[in-house]
Amino acid sequence: MENPLLTESPCRWGAPRFDIIKADDYLPAFEAGIAEARSEIDAIVSNPEPPDFRNTVEALEYSGRTLDRVSSIFFNLIEAESDESLQAVAEKVSPMLTGYSMYVSLNVPLFNRVKAVYDMRDSLGLEKDQMRLLENTYRSFARNGAALPEKDKAVYSKYAEELSLLSLSFGNNVLRSSNAYRLHITDPSDLDGLPDYAVEAGRSAAISEGVDGWMFTLDYPSYAPFMKYSRKRELRRQMYMAYNSKATGGDIDNTGIVLKIADLRIRMSSMLGYRDHACYVLEENMAKTPGRVEDFLSSLMSVSLPYAREEISRIYGYAAGHGFSDAALMPWDFLFWAERYKEAEFSLNDELLKPYFRLEDCIEAVFGLAERLYGIRFTMADDIPVYHKDVKVYDVTDADGRHLAVFYADFFPREGKRGGAWMTEFRGQCMRGGVEERPLVSIVTNFTKPTESTPSLLTHDELTTFLHEFGHALHGIMAEGRYPSLTGTSVARDFVELPSQIMENWAYEPQYLKTFAKDYRTGEPIPEELVSRIVDARNFLAGYHQVRQLQFGILDMAWHTLTSLPGTDAVEFERKVLEPYRVMPYVPGTAISPAFNHIFSGGYSAGYYSYKWAEVLEADAFSLFKEKGIFDRDTAASFRRNILSRGGSEDPEVLYRNFRGRDPQVQALMEKLGLVRN
């Protein structure tokens, strides 16, 4: 039987044949894809014609199509539907892919051709996106070792292969560590305080694993309600320790891997002539330098830290007045007492809100918002295969009926799926041979699954997450351009979160919430007074949450501004870095770094600050929607034209100014969060 990964899919829009792809198909598909891609590179190098933009830069940009297709499918499934067979393939494939990457990036004749075109760039009459592609291509070679002395290239290649394998092991360990923990409750009294939806989900989890009682896991829809509502302090402590010590010591341990990854990044950036890994990464971002990032984080921290400490003091005072007798709130106490305080202050909690946010209603509302702003429509596409029965697929069309994208939505947790939420693509938008390929876009979340008696009901935070990832999806769906490396979400790391984070704002707009939020049991619309409470509670613990995000950014920068390894282990290094910014007592045995997927196995090394950076952009950008109207089509059209459709075809600072008419203002974020003194 023909390998479905190596043939053009007969499905509409070329959607992957998930219905027939098997684990055994991947390795031969990777081998064939790499062989094809290498031959395409060889053809560019051996071309007897003088190098020009078309036969060198464009040819390189469009090479490796089969490999790209296989990689996009495989690595997306490793995140969303992994098992031991796929992980075994990943371990074999990772060094193969690194080898191919080095074959390209360290290829002297290929680099010489690119350099020849780059050196005459001003005389070529290139269009704006072509010049951008040429500059990016040349810089990519320089940044990946092409200019290294020959003796150093083998060393650099070896380091890159080691780094690839270590990153893969890091992510697998986090997933294994998370899956290894279960809190199994058999005594009904241990459910004290948990809302009905959490108890029912715990019972469903136990049934699915064939045990009596109730089962709670480290998946966020299970973990978060337990920490917020359980009155059993010792059980909260156990859950907290398990969640915050993932892959930290024991049989599944990333602490040594963290140091090895940091060391390799130090060595590789030094070989390329950079002071540290952060200098290497940030050269390509809006921020440009570590100093600018550190000043940015420091300025926000200096304002936010006093607010965070005031908030924690207020929660502690409330707890002390309601029976809490310890000298300090411990981290496993904080969410519980913060939720009690929130209920008292705002008469608001997840159990009260969840009935108004049935997943199906939220899907319709999120799609409806896109239609209202941009005129695009989502239609169920049951004929397109999926990789899991829970995945839903939609055709996306523009206001004029033009096909824009295929959209996949994978909402519920399962054992082979990593935690969190993300957007990705099985194929990006581009032009090939004068024919446009539209994208295959996916969002993946871990929302509460429906049970026998209750549909999937979102917390308001989960609705916000849905809007966030959908914003990334819109960035991919609305992509317009020629070159795959310049379209959709292929933008600077500290710019890519603007389209996602701006969408979160609608979750707090009464005018929007009232269009869809209704009690799934009665059909009654959400009361006006409850919407007001959601808005009033928006900045509850804003200082604390901002400090938490800034801590992640500071820790990331600390790891990636190292020029040599610290003289301590990973946990102790982290503890010292975060000590000045600590707002809760330190708990021995816990750490962020060994499970910090974003920076050690994802693409956010020296880039976690970008969430806050983009928050400044989105707060400033959304202020224009607030001024013109939150459903204003002209403002939305400008955002689509200048941001969503442009990808990385131009400098992000230029794109932002084209939309806003000026540079972003930090004050918009601080005002949005209420972190300003009157």
β-pairing, 214-216 vs 440-444, is unpaired
Q: DSSP label at 53?
A: I
Find out whether 393 and 380 touch, Cβ atoms under 8 Å: yes
HSE-CB of 618 using CA atoms within 13 angstroms: 24
Q: DSSP label at 452?
A: S
**Distance (Å, rounded) from C-alpha 229 to C-alpha 339?**
8
Find out whether 610 and 493 touch, Cβ atoms under 8 Å: yes
Residue holding tokens 């209603």?
A: 361
Could you count the other beta carbons within 10 Å of the beta carbon of residue 152?
14
> Six-digit token pair at 193?
């305080």
**Distance (Å, rounded) from C-alpha 380 to C-alpha 392?**
8
* Cα end-to-end distance, the chain, whole Å: 71
β-pairing, 403-410 vs 430-432, is unpaired
Could you count the other beta carbons within 10 Å of the beta carbon of residue 433?
5
Q: Which of 636, 649, 652, 645 is nearest to 480 (CA)?
A: 645
Alpha carbon separation from 4 to 76, 407, 438 (Å, rounded)? 17, 21, 20
Q: Which of 403, 405, 399, 394 is nearest to 372 (CA)?
A: 399
Triad 503, 504, 505: Cα angle to 5°: 90
Pick the catalytic residue from 469, 497, 504, 509. Answer: 469
Find out whether 224 and 154 touch, Cβ atoms under 8 Å: no
Pure H helices in 321-349: 331-346
**Distance (Å, rounded) from C-alpha 465 to C-alpha 504?**
7
Pure H helices in 275-358: 277-282, 290-320, 331-346, 350-353
Find out whether 12 and 384 touch, Cβ atoms under 8 Å: yes
Instruction: Give the burial string for 351-376 (b: 16+ CB within 10 Å, else e).
Output: bebbbbbbbebbbebbbebbeebbeb
HSE-CB of 626 using CA atoms within 13 angstroms: 15
HSE-CB of 134 using CA atoms within 13 angstroms: 24
Q: Which of 84, 86, 105 is nearest to 21 (CA)?
A: 86
**DSSP string of 372-429?**
HHH--EEEE-TTS--SSTT-EEEEEE-TTS-EEEEEEEE-S--TTS-SS-EEEEEE--
Q: Which of 114, 112, 111 is nearest to 58 (CA)?
A: 114
Is residue 144 helix, strand or coil? Answer: coil
Is residue 665 helix, strand or coil? Answer: coil
The residues near 521 (Cβ < 8 Å, ≥ 6 apart) are 355
Is residue 575 helix, strand or coil? Answer: helix
Active-site annotation holds for 615: no
Positions marked active-site: 469
